Chain A
Amino acid sequence: MDLAPLLLSFQLALATTALLLAFSLPLAWWLAYTRSRLKPVIEALVGLPLVLPPTVLGFYFLVLFSPASGIGLWLDQHLGLRLIFSFGGLVAVSLLYSLPFMVHPLQAGLGSLPPSLKEAAYVLGKSPLTTLFRVLLPNMKGPLLTGIVLTFAHTVGEFGVVLMIGGSIPGRTRVASIAIYEEVEAMNYASAHAYSLILLGLSFSILLAVYTVNGGYFKRFWS
């Protein structure tokens, strides 16, 4: 069995989770505390990937970033960045696709902390950044863990959007979920079985670990 697709899946999930955590913290902060009228609009945009077929996201991404479009061409010529049929493109589209899985737990976590914690840190002279890292995040380990694990697991589980943006280039965009699909199409049930079983076992173990650590915290986000 070729381990490359599994490895690629985990690389993709790891990169997506790390980048998304960095992007989502300021976004979740803004959503949790803003009184702007734009808030529902931004919330709706963040939540879109939850309800949209992945193919819709993939289609527009393709239209926007293919070398045939203005933006795609510009990126290619000026930055040497080609987001279609490349690992970088998979990471980019995964960031969009998994956005709500990171932002929602963080936003809910920040929102459920008493406002006086943040205010107390401010009155004690601490900057918003110090307050976030030394006061707020240490008191919302549950939501933080939930966001990280859900994003990781959701990225490993991507299929439609990966197929549209990445295709199936071995070692570059052929992730485990695509490999399974192709093995089944080629009637290599043994291979498909091996990949599937590994993903199944791994996903179950991750969720089990989080449930155990968090004591039922997940229910809020699944139901």
Chain B
Amino acid sequence: MISFDLRKRLASAAGEMLLDAALEVPQGECIALYGESGAGKTSLLRMLAGLMKPDAGRIASGGRVWYDSSRRIWLPPQQRGLGFVFQDYALFPHLTVRQNLEFALHPKHNAALTAELLEAAGLEALQHRKPGTLSGGQQQRAALARALAQQPRILLLDEPLSALDAETRSALQGYLLDFQRKWGMTVILVSHDPAEIQRLASRVVELRQGRIVRQASPAALFQPPEKQPAAGLSAEVVSVREEGSTRFVTLRLAGQQLILELGAEEARRMLGAAE
């Protein structure tokens, strides 16, 4: 588990902002930090990892104090033993995928873990390639595998799956979930994507202007009950196109575009109801 209570003055695009957030995450939970860009999500993650120094506050994890401004305690990132997946992957360009993992491996861990991680990430065939020759999705898998190679108790992910197509993203989310359950890892991820959050996280923490404004389950946060009609779905009419007696109605439903082909009478009934 990890708990923190941090304050940090940040320079953002909209001027100076005070990040002031406290949270407790039990071991094995996966939470998502959600909010507009500039809300302080990445800064929070970097402070937990020891890559950015807070102005004041406290971080403790598993009975150890990582940071305490009143007692002048500050553990460098090397001593925190957590995993971090960077937004730009941060794979070492001069090492192959396998060497990247081996670099991360704790000396007392056996080499079997490397093989297991490579296999689970589907990187066996690519293990002797340099990161520069891989696609974005493959690099992301390698970055995740490298972070897992340390067998961290806590894994931090900074918008790790944002640049991927839906299929790759889904496969990676499954990969992450497998290891999270297997090792009982605590996972804190920064994400903009409601679908991803619903798949991975059991709790969403929403940040606005450096403060935690809401904490809820993903289902509660992304589908507020008052906006749900009786049928359980709501859609927005984007356009209606007439071709003879047929109407093509374009709807936006859950972020997707849907085109319905309707008879004139049907269309009138449906759109009339919508108005």
Q: Is the interface of B mostly helix, strand, loop or mixed?
A: loop
User: Which residues does chain A contribute within 8 Å of B87, judged by CB atoms?
Assistant: 116
A201, CB-defined interface residue at 8 Å = no
Question: Which of A114, A121, A125, A127 counts the most B-chain CB atoms under 10 A from its CB?
Answer: A125
A125 near B150: Cβ-Cβ < 8 Å? yes
Give the contacts of A114-160 with B (CB-CB under 8 A): 114, 116-117, 119-127, 134-135, 138-139
B92 near A122: Cβ-Cβ < 8 Å? no
A131 to chain B, nearest CB (A): 10
B78 near A126: Cβ-Cβ < 8 Å? yes
**Complex CA–CA separation, A116 to B52 (angstroms):** 12
Chain B residues proximal to chain A, CB less than 8 Å: 49-51, 76-84, 86-88, 90, 92-94, 103-104, 106, 146, 150
A122 near B93: Cβ-Cβ < 8 Å? no
B150 near A139: Cβ-Cβ < 8 Å? no
A120 near B94: Cβ-Cβ < 8 Å? no
B92 near A139: Cβ-Cβ < 8 Å? yes
User: Which residues does chain A contribute within 8 Å of B146, judged by CB atoms?
Assistant: 124
Partner of A116, one of B76, B86, B94, B150: B86
A120 near B78: Cβ-Cβ < 8 Å? no
Closest to B107 in A: A125
Q: Is the interface of A mostly helix, strand, loop or mixed?
A: helix
Partner of A120, one of B79, B80, B82, B84: B84
B150 near A124: Cβ-Cβ < 8 Å? yes
- Contacts A114-B90, A116-B87, A125-B150 known; list 9 others, CB within 8 Å: A116-B90, A119-B49, A120-B86, A120-B90, A122-B77, A122-B78, A123-B49, A135-B92, A138-B94
Partner of A123, one of B84, B88, B92, B93: B84
User: Which residues does chain B contribute within 8 Å of A125, judged by CB atoms?
Assistant: 78-79, 81, 106, 150
**Complex CA–CA separation, A124 to B242 (angstroms):** 61
User: Which residues does chain B contribute within 8 Å of A124, judged by CB atoms?
Assistant: 103-104, 146, 150
What sequence of 0s and 1s flags, for each residue 70-83 of chain A, a beta carbon within 8 Å of any chain B beta carbon? Answer: 00000000000000
Known: A114-B88, A116-B88, A134-B103. A123 touches B94 (CB 8 A): no
User: Which residues does chain B contribute within 8 Å of A116, judged by CB atoms?
Assistant: 86-88, 90
